[in-house]
Structure 1
Amino acid sequence: MDQQHALIEKPAGRGDFARLWREARFDGMECLNARFQRHSYAPHTHETYVVGVITAGTELYRCRGSDRVAQAGQVVVLDPDVLHDGRPAADGYAYRMFYPSVGLFEQAMADATGRPVAPHFPAMELDDPELFLLIRGLHHGLEDPHREPLRTDTDAMRAFTLLAFRHGDLTARPLPAGREPVAVRRAREYLDAHLDDPVELAELAEAAGLSRFHLLRVFRAAVGTTPHGYLTDRRVARAKRLLAGPLPLAEVALACGFCDQAHFNRVFKGRVGVSPGQYRRGSNPIQDVLVSAA
């Protein structure tokens, strides 16, 4: 049973909320953002893993022959084909869940260890603040239409591999990272050449000649940030140069690979501390008339 059918079998009650969607880029992975005060799940299983975070309240459920409690701040993980139900405690609960396929985990593990293994997770409720933030951030990101594919791919690889290595039963460990200066140089050159394009992690890894997992490790070790962080910094640097000229802000945004002007404003201010318009006025006062006209 997939999560959509689990919800249909016992629909959300009055005052409950549930949003379910699929992510084609992650093998059709189902994603659920829900808040339940009344809704109870009938016992069911999934062909996929169940991975998520409890963001508020308390969920009660029965699994593997015992009554379980998952509380706000915890990560929840279940292996495929494990029978479970779910219901709210008195305070209700909110959660963000992923249902990644076995193949998706195997692909991530092949990138990280060289072997397409599917991990088993002995514990179901995990107290792991770092992992909690990664999973919650990835889930929020998938609801953001402005989230760039390179950021999303990076967050997913980090979240699922950290979960597997830290809490799975894996005997295989990550391949040695090494320094890989040639691969890092190729990755930087590829990013520099695609500042105005959406970049996929798989494409970048292919250009560098490394697996996605290996690239993320060696790039951060060599450059001090992720490929997405580097790409964002380079885009902001280009935007600063263009803001000295007459291009309207919307055209500067597109020339630097931002989805639209709102996305440009948010990212630029996050890096520089002022909006693009404020930066233009401060660095090139004679452009004030052009900015006002735009």
Structure 2
Amino acid sequence: MDQQSALLERPAGGGDFARLWREARFDGMECLNARFQRHSYAPHMHDTYVVGVITAGTELFRCAGVDLAAHAGQVVALNPGILHDGRPADDGFAYRMFYPSASLFEGALEEATGRRVAPHFGVTVFDDPALFAAIGSLHRGLEGRVSDPLRADTDALRAFTLLALRHGDLTGRLPAAGREPAAVRRAREYLDAHLDSPVELADLAGAIGLSRFHLLRVFRAAVGTTPHGYLTDRRVAHAKRLLAGPLTLAEVALSCGFCDQAHFNRVFKGRVGVAPGQYRRGSNPVQDTGSAAA
């Protein structure tokens, strides 16, 4: 059963909210953002994994014959084919859930460990603040529909490998990341050359001859941030230079690889502290008022 069918079996009641969508770039993975005060799930199972975070309240559920409770701040992970239900405690609950296929996990872990394996989660509910943050960030980013494939792929690879390696009952250790200064230099050059266009993590990794996972590890070790973080910083720096010129804000946004002006405003303000228009007025007030030198 997919999650949409589970929702329809007992439709949400008054005051409840549920939004479900699918991500084609992640093997059609279903994603659910929901808040339930009344809705309860009938017993059901999925062909996929169930992975997510409780963002408020408490969900009560019976899983493989065991009664469990998942509280705000906790992570939930179920293996495929596990019978479970779900209902709100007195205070209701809100959660963000993914339904990733086994092949999605296997592909990520093959890059991380060199072995194509699927995780098995022996514990269903657990505390892991770093993982909670990683899953939540990925989910919010995908729901926001920002057209940023490098961020989406980076966040997804990090979240799912982190989950599997920490809690997935896998054997063996990660190989050493090693030092790859030439590869990191080529990666930075590639990103610098693509400030005005979307960047796929797979294309970046392929251009320098590393797996996506290995690239993320060595790049962060050398630069202190992810390729996405580096690219965003470079785009903002380029935007600052363009804001001193005649281009409109929308033209600056497109020239720096942002999908639209709203995306540009949000990212620029997050890095600089002021919106692009405010920055332009502060750095070039004569141009912005429309006056000209005599």
| Pairwise TM-score range, normalised by the shorter structure | over 0.9
What is the TM-score of this pair, normalised by structure 1?
A: 0.96
1:133 corresponds in structure 2 to 133
Confirm or deny: 8 A CA contact 1:141 1:147 kept in the other structure.
no
* Shift of residue 172, structure 1, vs aligned partner: 2.7
Which amino acid is the alignment partner of residue 40 of structure 1? S
Q: Let me know the Cα RMSD of the aligned residues.
A: 1.3
Q: Residue 250 of structure 1 corresponds to which residue in structure 2?
A: 250
Tell me what 1:47 maps to: 47
- Map of 1:45-194 to 2, 5 A cutoff? 45-146=45-146, 148-194=148-194
Q: Distance in 1 between matches of 2:290 and 2:138?
A: 39
Match of 1:37 in 2: 37
**TM-superposed deviation, 1:114:** 0.8
Aligned to 1:12: 12
Counterpart of 1:102, as a letter, is A
Instruction: Output the TM-score relative to the length of structure 2.
Output: 0.96
CA deviation map 1:245-282 (0-9, x unaligned): 11111111110111122221221122122222222222
Instruction: Tell me the CA shift for residue 147 of structure 1.
Output: 5.1
Distance 1:191 1:178 in 2: 22
1:54-75: CA deviation from partner (whole Å, max 9, x where unpaired):
1111111111221111111110
User: 3-state DSSP class of the match of 1:34?
Assistant: strand
Q: Distance in 1 between matches of 2:210 and 2:129?
A: 30
3-state secondary structure, aligned to 2:137: helix
Q: Match of 1:155, as an amino acid?
A: D
What is the rounded CA distance, in whole Å, between the counterparts of 2:146 and 2:101 in structure 1?
25
Q: CA deviation at 1:290?
A: 4.5
**Structure 1 gaps, min length 5:** none
Residue number in structure 2 paired with 1:206:
206
Partner of residue 286, structure 2 = 286
Q: Secondary structure, in 3 states, of the residue corresponding to 2:152?
A: helix
> In structure 2, how many angstroms separate the alpha carbons of the residues matched to 1:290 and 1:260?
25
- Provide the C-alpha distance between the structure 2 equivalents of 1:151 and 1:43, rounded to a whole number of angstroms: 35
| SS of equivalent to 1:246 | coil
Which string of whole-angstrom CA distances, capped at 9 and with x for unpartnered residues, describes residues 90-142 of structure 1? 11111110000000000000010111100101000011111111111111111
1:153 alignment partner AA: D
Query: Alignment length, in residue pairs?
Result: 291
Amino acid at match of 1:75: V
Give the aligned residue type for 1:204. L
Compared CA separation, residues 257 and 290, structure 1 to 2 (3 A): farther
Matched with 2:226 is 226
Q: Which runs of 5+ in 2 are unaligned?
A: none
Q: Deviations over 1:144-176 (max 9, x none)?
A: 122521111111111111111111111132222
How far apart, in 2, do the equivalents of 1:67 and 1:30 lie? Answer: 25
- For the residue of structure 2 that corresponds to 1:184, the secondary structure is helix
